[in-house]
Every structure is written in C-alpha cells, then in structure tokens.
C-alpha cells in the first residue's frame, strides 16, 4: 500500500529531485511503486516594478512529497537520488504521514490556485524613494512612509508646492527609484 513520505532535498532542487525519482523508477521498472511525487507550491501576488504578477512559490522549500509503496528498492532509489539528503523521520527511517496531513498540503495549493493569496511582496520598503506611475500624482517622486499589506496600499510623502504631503496609493501605482 502506498503512503505519503516527505523527502528532504537541497533547496532549489525540488523539481529536479521529483523528475529524477520518477525517471529512475521508470528506468529500473519500479514505477508501479511510485504513485505520485509532488513539490508543494502556492500562488502569491507580488508587485514588481509597479505591476502585479502571479508567482508560484514553494511553501515547503527543501522538501518533496512522494506517495510510495515503500520497500528496500524504493528506499534506495530515493536515498541515492542526487540532491536528496534523506527522508523525514526518526533515525533516518522514513516516517509516513497520514493522507489527511498530505491533503493539507495539497488543499492549500488548490485553495491558492482557486483564490491567490492576498499576501503581496513589494520591491520597496519604508524610507525608500519611489516614483508614482499612475493617477493624478503620476511622475511625482516621494518617500514611502507606510505599507498596509491588508489593503495593498502604500502611503507616500510627495512634495507638492514645496510641502511634503502624504498620499495613499495602491502597491501597483508606485515603483522603486533605482540608482
């Protein structure tokens, strides 16, 4: 019976590990024992250079989930896969996780795919010089005073007639001044 296992891999090589396990299992005739190999990811919205972008991000960096019918051959196939450091478990013995726990990881991914997470990553922070690129203050420069991630808003202090004035804008309406 196949059970879910968590495989520890080098961070950044999760997809290569996934592909290597699947292809090696096919090559040596064990593919019927490897039911699934997944890299848990989520979709988040980031603001880069004033534009909203949907990005796939691993929410368990350095880990791969695999549904395996564990035996000595499968254990050695996974352990000898390049960029794999081992299984999650005690004394380096693979410890299966419940289907319910595995479903949590995939449920989060399905939920994220259905509705991208509100969390937004911006490429500027408080105190940074930014340029307004939309609205009535377009082409004005200012300094970031506040970031409100719940509302995806930024408060920027712009100079209007020589006087610093706070202006509230959307994250995508400003971009970092490089230089």
* Cα separation, 64 vs 66, whole angstroms: 6
Q: Is the pLDDT of residue 119 over 80?
A: no
Tens of pLDDT, residue by residue over 47-91, are 776 677 787 778 788 999 999 999 999 999 999 999 999 898 887
- Which element (helix H / strand E) includes 1? none
For strand 174-176 and strand 163-170, is the pairing parallel, antiparallel, or unpaired?
unpaired
Q: Is the pLDDT of residue 112 over 60?
A: no
Q: What is the pLDDT of residue 118?
A: 52
* Cα separation, 63 vs 97, whole angstroms: 13
Q: Which tokens is 178 given? A: 């490089």
Q: What is the pLDDT of residue 104?
A: 77
Query: Could you tell me if 16 and 62 are in contact, meaning their C-beta atoms sit under 8 angstroms apart?
Result: no
Q: Calculate the average pLDDT of the chain.
A: 84
34 burial type by CB count under 10 A (0-12 exposed, 13-18 middle, 19+ buried): buried
Q: SS3 of 124, please?
A: coil
Tell me the Ramachandran region of residue 66: left when phi exceeds 0, alpha when psi lies from -120 to 50, beta otherwise: beta
Query: Of 109, 85, 115, which is closest to residue 17 (Cα–Cα)?
Result: 85
Query: Of 45, 70, 65, which is closest to residue 56 (Cα–Cα)?
Result: 45
């Amino acid at each position: 019976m196949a059970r879910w296992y968590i495989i520890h891999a080098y961070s950044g090589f999760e997809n290569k590990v996934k592909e290597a396990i699947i292809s090696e299992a096919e090559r040596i005739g064990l593919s019927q024992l490897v039911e699934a190999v997944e890299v848990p990811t989520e979709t988040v919205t980031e603001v880069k250079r004033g534009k909203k972008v949907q990005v796939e991000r691993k929410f368990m960096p350095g880990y791969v989930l695999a549904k395996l019918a564990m035996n000595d051959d499968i254990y050695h196939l996974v352990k000898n896969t390049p960029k794999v450091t081992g299984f999650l478990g005690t004394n380096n013995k693979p410890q299966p996780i419940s289907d319910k726990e595995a479903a949590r990881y995939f449920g989060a991914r399905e939920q994220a795919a259905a509705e991208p997470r509100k969390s937004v990553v911006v490429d500027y922070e408080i105190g940074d010089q930014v340029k307004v690129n939309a609205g009535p203050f377009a082409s004005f420069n200012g300094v970031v005073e506040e970031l409100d991630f719940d509302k995806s808003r930024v408060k920027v202090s712009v100079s209007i007639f020589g006087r610093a004035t706070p202006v509230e804008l959307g994250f995508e309406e400003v971009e970092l001044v490089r230089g």
